[in-house]
Structure 1
Amino acid sequence: MIDNGLHQLHRNVREEAATPSDDTAAVHTGPVTKETQIIAIYGKGGIGKSFTLANLSYMMAQQGKKVLLIGCDPKSDTTSLLFGGKACPTIIETSSRKKLAGEAVSISDVCFKRDGVYAMELGGPEVGRGCGGRGIIHGFETLEKLGFHEWGFDFVLLDFLGDVVCGGFGLPIARDMCQKVIVVGSNDLQSLYVANNVCSAVEYFRKLGGNVGVAGMVINKDDGTGEAQAFANNAGIPVLASIPAHDDIRRKSASYEIIGKPDGEWGSLFAELAQNVADAPPVRPRPQSQDQLLSLFSAEVTGRDFVMEPATLFDMVGREDLSKPSLEVVYDSV
């Protein structure tokens, strides 16, 4: 059964973080022993989280695991590949519609399945019409009312957007809703910047008494240049799989085709990823500084050899001095 942290989610999302603990406290590095592994996957938008998760969850199901995939991205596209491009009704939209009709939301309204994979989308507000992070919180509150803590899954995979920093998107890390985090990145600076931010968040909440660790990184669209592998090495996290930048993968993904099948060309890749995801212990990462991230790339790529020149007052107003009227109040004599 899903752990007590999820059972008490309604209360936990409203509580402050725990009292800061000793910085030297080590994250648990043994095997995960809870019946349900809850894993939050983060990455830059467009880096391939949904592609990775659809194929990973499909492979896990083919290996006999009971898997729940939950899309926590306002774009609601986590399940699109799994369902052949079809849009999955979101929990937020369905909940609002049912409430207006005076009806209760049921599991069959929001949860759908394919070949052993169960999947749903939390959804989010349209642009300018609400807070995506608050939508995430509302979505999980609805799940709890549906008996989320009673569901018996081997794995629950949460797909989170990593380049949004508001509170709702950090819930799994901040409130110990998962046992471990996986980051998806590539050999480009922006995706590694996001991966590093996630590592920083994990480390921050570890210092506040949290228990979540980083299980590793999936390198997607790997062109062999090595920056993502170097980042993982520096951050102290393992690489769980490297998915090559291959035209066959790109084409099949674009046509909503699952490639994580045991008998397929890429089956062994996702079978290994599934095993690594299951076995990898959560570790405490070493977040990198901006300069350390830049050092992974050549100066020609990042422009890091550029020397900043301070601006001057003359640059701003065309002269060396600036007359400022006094704010002192002067009273006329009576």
Structure 2
Amino acid sequence: MNAPTGFSPPPGSQAALLRAEASVPLDPVPTGEPKKQTQVIAIYGKGGIGKSFTLANLSYMMAQQGKRVLLIGCDPKSDTTSLLFGGRSCPTIIETSSKKKLAGEPVAIGDVCFKRDGVFAMELGGPEVGRGCGGRGIIHGFELLEKLGFHQWDFDYVLLDFLGDVVCGGFGLPIARDMCQKVIVVGSNDLQSLYVANNVCSAVEYFRKLGGNVGVAGMVINKDDGTGEAQAFASAAGIPILAAIPANEDIRRKSANYEIVGRPESEWGALFAALGVQVAEAPPLRPKPLTQEELLGLFKGEAVGRGQVLTPATMEDMCAAEVFAKPSLEVVYEGS
């Protein structure tokens, strides 16, 4: 029920605190250079394609190689760090900030950032379903990071995990505002994940035309079954393959059990060690996005339903009955 016009909540109440917070102007999103030569890398991909799996193992391996790594989950599902912490969920920055503000307490680093074997990790979080904009939550989350001193932190690599199949502004923030140096896309040999990868390439190209500097460093193929569509896409888009993680039962089972497979001593250690080198050294490139027809052309006809004819519907179809044309009462003037 809406409050009556002119209603003022009692001072100190939760409603008053929320209203006061809503009236504070938003800070501009920071676009300054990170400290020293920190590489800020945004990883995009279709939901469920394996970004979190890839990033958890990649960040773990890079830390074992002596690098200082910060992993930031920017997916509203807040599951980027769950594999890293054995299935445990991190308190998100947005949720923690809201609780702290209601309690009149400041947010400290230890409230939102956690570490394991040299990897530092945090989750931005997002609103519950139907209760806000996920992209706006991303923007708000980065504003909070700036207040916590983001640009004074000393890391070799900051890895940002972004959902690629959401196109609203907040999720394109690193590309649109040059907040990262390069983008990596995670995909597989299926049309939907490559459609998302192509959209990310399109976004990078669009902002490059507007004077942006972000490029695509390459693609990681996850659950590679050897059919070759992802390799064909990368070749057509002009970006390299940084690693191909096979569709392997051992990897699937360990990932499902929240086990890190990217350990130096493991069977898959060499793969993630090589990926770490590629991620560090691959230059940001200007991609060549594919048209829809070019993208469909990477797949066999039976895989994407080509050959079908688009048959226009009629008014009779829509009404499920014969439709009689009514005479128009429109007045048409001579010479009009």
Once the two structures are TM-superposed, the CA of residue 315 in structure 1 deviates from its matched residue by: 3.3
Alignment of structure 1 residues 103-252 onto 2, 5 Å: 103-252=105-254
Residue identity matched to 1:40: A
In structure 2, how many angstroms separate the alpha carbons of the residues matched to 1:48 and 1:326? 60
CA contact (8 A) 1:13 1:137 kept: no
Instruction: Between the two structures, name the one with larger relative contact order (CA 8 Å, sep ≥ 6).
Output: 1
Provide the C-alpha distance between the structure 2 equivalents of 1:89 and 1:12, rounded to a whole number of angstroms: 22
Aligned amino acid, residue 269 of structure 2? G
Which amino acid in 1 is paired with 2:302?
E
Say which is worse superposed, 307-316 or 48-57, in terms of deviation. 307-316
2:21 corresponds to: none
Hey, what does 1:11 align to over in structure 2? 28
Please give the secondary structure, in 2, of the residue aligned with 1:11: coil
Provide the rounded CA distance (Å) in 2 between the counterparts of 1:34 and 1:297.
44
* Counterpart residue number, 1:97: 99
How far residue 250 of structure 1 moved from its aligned partner, in angstroms, is 0.1
Whether the aligned pair in 2 keeps the contact of 1:13 and 1:171 (CA below 8 Å) is no
Q: Which residue of structure 2 aligns with residue 87 of structure 1?
A: 89
Inter-CA distance 172–10: structure 2 relative to 1 (3 Å threshold): farther
Q: Deviations over 1:285-313 (max 9, x none)?
A: 01011111111110011111112222334
Q: Match of 2:264?
A: 262
In the TM superposition, residue 34 of structure 1 has moved relative to its aligned partner by: 6.2
Q: Residues of 1 paired with 2:199 and 2:133: CA distance?
A: 21
Q: Distance in 1 between matches of 2:160 and 2:327?
A: 56
* Alignment pair present for 1:292 and 2:309: no
Distance 1:321 1:268 in 2: 72
TM-superposed CA distance for 1:314, in Å, is: 4.1
Shift in Å, 1:323: 1.5
Could you tell me the TM-score, scaled by structure 1's length? 0.87
Percent identity over paired residues: 78
Residue 298 of structure 2 aligns with an amino acid whose one-letter code is L
For the residue of structure 2 that corresponds to 1:296, the secondary structure is coil
Residue 4 (structure 1) aligns with:
none
Counterpart Cα distance in 1 of 2:242 and 2:211:
27
Cα RMSD for the two superposed structures: 1.8
1:147 positional shift: 0.4
Cα distance in 2, alignment partners of residues 324 and 98 from structure 1: 67
Structure 2: give runs of 5+ residues left out of the alignment.
1-25, 332-336
How do 1:317-332 residues align onto structure 2 when only pairs under 5 Å count?
Answer: 317=319, 318-319=321-322, 322-323=325-326, 326=329
